[in-house]
Every structure is written in structure tokens, then in C-alpha cells.
Amino acid sequence: MNTDPKNIIDSEYSDIMQQSYIDYAMSVIISRAIPDIRDGLKPVQRRTLYDMGELGLRSDRPYRKCARIVGDTMGKYHPHGDSSIYDSLVVMAQDFKKGRTLVDGHGNFGSIEGDGAAAMRYTEARLEPVTEEAFLRDLDKDTVDFVPNFDETEKEPEVLPVKIPNFLVNGSEGIAVGMATSAPTHNLKEVIEAEKAYLDDPDITTEGLMHYLKGPDFPTGGIITNASDLPGIYENGVGKIKIRGRVTEEKGKNGRKNLVITEIPYTMIGAGIGKFMSDVIDLVESRKTTDIIDISNQSSKEGIRIVIECRKDSDTDNLKNLLYTKTKLEDTFGVNMLAVHDGRPETMGLKAIFSAHTAFLYEINTRKYTNLLEKEEKRSEIQEGLIKATDLIDLIIETLRGSRDRATVMRCLTTGDTKGIRFRSKVSEKEAQNFNFTENQAQAILDMRLAKLIGLELEALLKEHDETLKAIKKYKDLLAKPASMKKAISGELDEIAEKYGQERRTEITDAAAAVFTAKPVEEMDVYFVMDRFGYARTIDTSTYERNRETIEGDEAAFRSVFLTKNTGRIGIFTNTGMLHIIRVMDLPMTKLRDKGVPIDNLSKYDSSKENFVYIDDLDNIVNAKLLFVSRQAMMKLVEGSEFDVMTKRTVAATSLGDGDELFRVKAYDEENDRQVLLQTEGGFFIRFAISEIPEKKKGAVGVRGMKLGNGDRLEELYFMNFADERVIEYKGKQMALTHVKLSKRDGKGTKVRV
């Protein structure tokens, strides 16, 4: 190994890491995640479409298994795994995601409601007609550069010669390293009209372009509600589009009203529909509205249809606003029109996009017509030679019969050299010396069939030559005059718009912000009910009164029951020292034996880590003085007003030492709670006056009520009055609490043996 110091390169590690990261980031940006502004395609999309073209999967041919397409694309052009290729293929075939689908899928390609596509071995695909005509047609005319594939065994196009601004028509979504692209879909007709306007006037403003391109046109329809923001978005390429679903009102059964959603925001595609229905159900269960009776998804292949059944007297306009404000029926689409331009990622406004694409159109058309001109000129050369040869056919045949080999004939036809050729007469030889055909003409003459000498064939050749001369004139005119080229490009765009254009689906307007006016809630008494599993609900007072004995006798099903207001709040203290607050309005009003909802769903309470210690109406808590006791016998009194929090749903109720947990919280009753008796797991008892427990803030740990032995902790506590003759059962025997002598706080207590 050569260890000569002269051969060691000294580099800063941070510089190497920085450069490596930049190289990696640019590779992801250029080679995977961000589309090229010229064809609006990411590499995986471009390679998939090119491979389908190479496989001959035209729109008028049978479908081919997607597994074949994916395998061929991966093996030849895109060595990044089959799932990315198939996912890309599926998206290009989904008409609810693309403005114009590029792949014609056959089989299960997923649904707007979030159902995934079937495995690639089951589905089939072929190209859409628009893909053939506007994306792949001119690949054989040297319109774009071809580059080696990953292992240099194949060639692939650097970019497809796309004739439409596909970046706008089909939009794009992608996440790269440190950046992302999010471009909405647009209407093909409008995009083409705007591009033609830019061709006519490159100095046109963004507002001028928007005279033709009104705004995004999502395949799911919907209503864009901030039209006045669109000029700024299209000027800078960045912004937020507000979009609503379309809601209509229909007559329902029994005089009821139905709100029917027929179009959804583009952002709701997939699981968003199920989430929307779940959110509507939550609005009903939480009593945000009482106007909704039922919701059903009646969507089919014909389109979206979500029916919300409402009460007869419901305010449907106010209910619409509730849906807009509390669900994804109104959502925001973030626009960031980032694309690769001249090899670099760039956020582009509308005018910059058209500028880049029209420049690309001029480039590919210039290359196309240059290529066609060369072919027509070569064809004209051969045609002129054949026409000339028909007048000299007898002499040419005599030359052929008198020659020994093909090379001799070629030399004679191109240069007039008759050496080595036997002619019938000197006259023929002298005439042959005047031959001056080009090599291409001479080759065509030698390849010519005798059938060309038929009169009709000769006439066809003369007619074909006239057409060739017209084509040459046309191509030269296109290449020499920018106005002619512009006219040709516009003509192609018009043809595509006429064949594949669609009517606009998304409405654009400036709508007022949705404002929901909640109906005033009539305050009433209800009973909070929670079972031992933490499922809570409320029941009305009449239900409670009718079933009082059942409720009081079934402690498992009715672990915690107390009177509260339907407008009130419930405070839940847990062993971790936290206070969770839930609104009574969030609890469902149920029948007596209904299950209710888990407290976990209504607060940050975690039943896997926490246990209930004390539950009560928050007003009762705030107006009381609370006694806190921990397992390690730390005690304090806290004014309930410290827990009067209006905005927070979870607060720390107390501080705890290491390994300690909150054991008991009790509303302090000054009349009856005069003494407290603590019992430990080790069998120690201590009784002292509650007046020895100081009042502290909620953030304090408190004072020690009893000195515990190693590993010992509180097992039970009892509150007593001075004359309380309370008897408890301890280890199977009766024991009067007054037998434990009254002492001071923070003692070791008395060991009770039974």
C-alpha cells in the first residue's frame, strides 16, 4: 500500500458530507420525485409510458398484463422496485386523480373511496389515444435526445416530446429531499387556449393568461371559493386554494330534508370520504348538531352521492356551514408548482410554465421538421433519379447486361466510366459516358422493379414527386418563418383540444367564509354515569329516578354516578397526578344500559397507564377544598379554585416524588372530616387530626403523613369525626378505628396484630 504523504488528500469531513448530501438530494429531485417542466412527467412515469409504446400497447390493440409492463420497465429503464412503477401506472389510469388519464386500465384500478388496485398480475393496461398522439407520436423523428439506460444496454428518451403542457393538465405531487411539488390539475381546453395566447403574445401578463385559463379544474369537481387569490398564486407558483364539495338539497321521506353531496374536494380522495362520514357521526354524537338523523354513502360508478338525512325543521344552510367548518367538506389545496427546468428545480408561475413549454414545442418541432425535410429531400433525390432513369431505361439495361459486377455498374451510373462494360455500339457507350446519377439514385435504379416502367406506375411516381416537392417547400417554410411554425403548432394544439378536450368540472367563485351559528343549548340537569371499564355517558334525571335502586345496587355497571349540568365539565384525577377535563356536551346521552364512550376518546387519559382516583363535576371541585394523599403518605390540602382552568383539557394536579403515585383525592368536609386514619400494607396504623395537614399549592408535593418502612406503602385511609365509633374488617376480624390511639402526624404508627 502506498503511504506516501504526497498521495494523501486532506479534506474537511463536514465538506465531504455536505457535498455528498447535496449530490444525493439532487439525485432524488431530478431522478425520482420532481417532474420535468417540458413533459410534466417524473422519470418513472416517462419510462413506463415509453416502455408501453415500445411494447406496442396502442389504444387499438389488446390489453397487456400490468406485471409484464412493470417487469419490462424495471428490467430496461427503472431499477427502483416494482411497487413504484405499478403505483405510477395505476395513478396514470385513475380518472379521479388525473385531468386526462394517460393509461387505459382494465380491471380493478382502485376507487375514489380509497380502495387499492388489484395486484399487477390481475390487471391489464394499454395506452390512451391522447398519450399516443400527444406524448409518443414523434419519438421516431429525432425530436428529443436519447440517453443510455442504467446499465447502458438500451437507449431511453431524456424527455418525451409532449405537445401539451402536461404539468398543468395533470398536475403533480411529489416529495423530494428538502422540497416538494404540488400542482393542481387543469382543464385541457383552457390550458391549450392559454398556450396559444402565449404563442401569439409572449409578453402577455398572468391576468391575460387567466382570461383563458380560469383556474384549477379538479377531476372531482367541487367549488373553488377564493377566486381573487388565484392571480397571486399563478404569478408566484405558490399559495393555497380553498375548495368545497358541492351540496344540494333534496326532499326526503316524510317531509324531511336531505343534503346530498355530489362532488367532493380533491383532497378528500381516498380515505377522506370515510373520515368525512366519521366526522359527521362525531358531530351528532357530541351534539354539535341535532339536525342530522342519518348519513349514507350511495356512491357508485356513476359518481359521488353521500346523503345526509335531516329533520323537518332543520336549518340546512346553517348545517352546510357546520359541515364546511368542522369537516373536510371544505379543505385547502396547497399549491407549490415546483418542476425541473434546465436541469434545476424551480418554482414557476403560470407565465414561466408556458414560456418553458412553448420553447420546448419550438425545439421539438424544429427538430421534427428538420428531420422530415432531410427525409423528403432524400426521397426527392431518388424520385428524380427514377424519373430520369425511365427515359434512359434501354441504355441502363444495356449497361447492366454488359457489366460483370454491381460495382462496375455503380461506377458507370455515377461517373460515366464505361471501362469494362460491353456495349452493342459505340453510340451507346458514348451516351453512357454522360451518366451522372448520385449514389442514392444509382442504388435506387439498381433496386428498381421492372413494374415501375408501367405507365400508371410512372404517373404515380410523377405525382408522388410533386407531393414530395410540396412537402419540401412546406418544411422549408416552417423552418424559415417563425409565423409558419407558430401556426403549425397552434393547429396541432387545436386538433388535440377538439379530440380530447372536456368541459370544466370545477366551479370558481369568491364565496363568503362559512360561519356556523350554534343553536343555544338549553341548560338542564343530567346524571354523569361511568362503569368500571371507563365508559362514560349521561342519562336524564327521569331515567335516573325511575332506576335509582338498580343504579345504586350495581357498582360494576355504575361505578361513578353524580348530578351535573349538560353545559358543565367533569374533572378526573388519576394516579399519575394529572387532572383530565371533559365537557359534558361531548358525552352521549343514552339509555340506562347503553355502553357510552371510553374516557380515552374524550381526553388525554390513557387507560393503559392511568387509573381513576377521583371524579366529580368541575364546579364542585372548584368550590371545594381537596385533600390529596399519595401512596408514600404525602398529604396536602389544595383550594379547588386552582383547578378552574377554562382552556386546558389536561393539567398537572399535584407533584409526586420518584416512584410515588396519587392514592386518594377527597373533597374536604370540615364538619365531618376531623381525623384521618392511615393503614399501610405492612399492617401499621396511624390516626391524627386533619388540622395538622397544611394547605399548599397544587404544584407542591405536600407533607409526610406517616413514616413508612422500607417497601411499605399506604393501603387504605379512613376519615373520622371525634365521636366516630366506626368498625372495619381487618384480616378477617372486626376492628374499631378508635382503638388506634390519636397521635401526631409523621409518626411511625402502631403495628396491629390479629
**Catalytic (active site) residue 500:** no
**Cell numbers that stand for 620 in this block:** 364542585
Please report the pLDDT score of residue 696 as a whole number.
93
Confidence class of residue 130 from pLDDT cuts 50, 70 and 90?
very high
CA distance 596 to 588: 7
Residue 25 has pLDDT above 70, yes or no: no
Residues shown for the chain: 754
Half-sphere exposure of 138 (CA within 13 A, CB side): 23
Please report the pLDDT score of residue 27 as a whole number.
57
Catalytic residue among 24, 63, 86, 122: 122
The DSSP-derived string for 27-44 is HHIIIIIS-BTTT---HH
Across all residues in the chain, what is the average pLDDT? 89
**Cell numbers that stand for 3 in this block:** 503511504
Specify the residue for cell string 371541585.
621
Instruction: Give the tens place of pLDDT for each residue, 658-670.
Output: 989 999 999 988 8
**Residue environment code for 554-563, b if the CB has 16+ CB neighbours within 10 A, otherwise e:** eeebbbbbee
Confidence class of residue 22 from pLDDT cuts 50, 70 and 90?
low
Instruction: Give the tens place of pLDDT for each residue, 348-375.
Output: 999 999 999 999 999 999 999 999 999 9
Collapsed DSSP state (helix, strand, coil) of residue 583: strand
| 8 A C-beta contact, residue 38 and residue 162 | yes
Inter-helix orientation angle 439-447/350-391, to 10° = 60
* Residue 113 exposed, middle or buried by CB count within 10 Å (0-12, 13-18, 19+): middle
Please report the pLDDT score of residue 332 as a whole number.
95
Mean pLDDT value across residues 664-687: 90
pTM, to two decimals:
0.73
Residue 244 has pLDDT above 90, yes or no: yes
CA distance 100 to 276: 27
- Amino acid letter at 186? H
Please report the pLDDT score of residue 473 as a whole number.
94
Please report the pLDDT score of residue 313 as a whole number.
83
Confidence class of residue 733 from pLDDT cuts 50, 70 and 90?
confident
Query: Which residue segments constitute the domains of the chain, with CATH numbers given?
Result: 28-162 (3.90.199.10), 246-328 (3.30.1360.40), 362-500 (1.10.268.10), 520-623 (no CATH), 659-754 (no CATH)
- Amino acid letter at 427? V
Please report the pLDDT score of residue 397 as a whole number.
84
Instruction: Give the tens place of pLDDT for each residue, 390-417.
Output: 888 888 888 888 888 888 888 888 888 8
Mean pLDDT value across residues 165-171: 95
| 8 A C-beta contact, residue 531 and residue 558 | yes
CA distance 570 to 526: 12
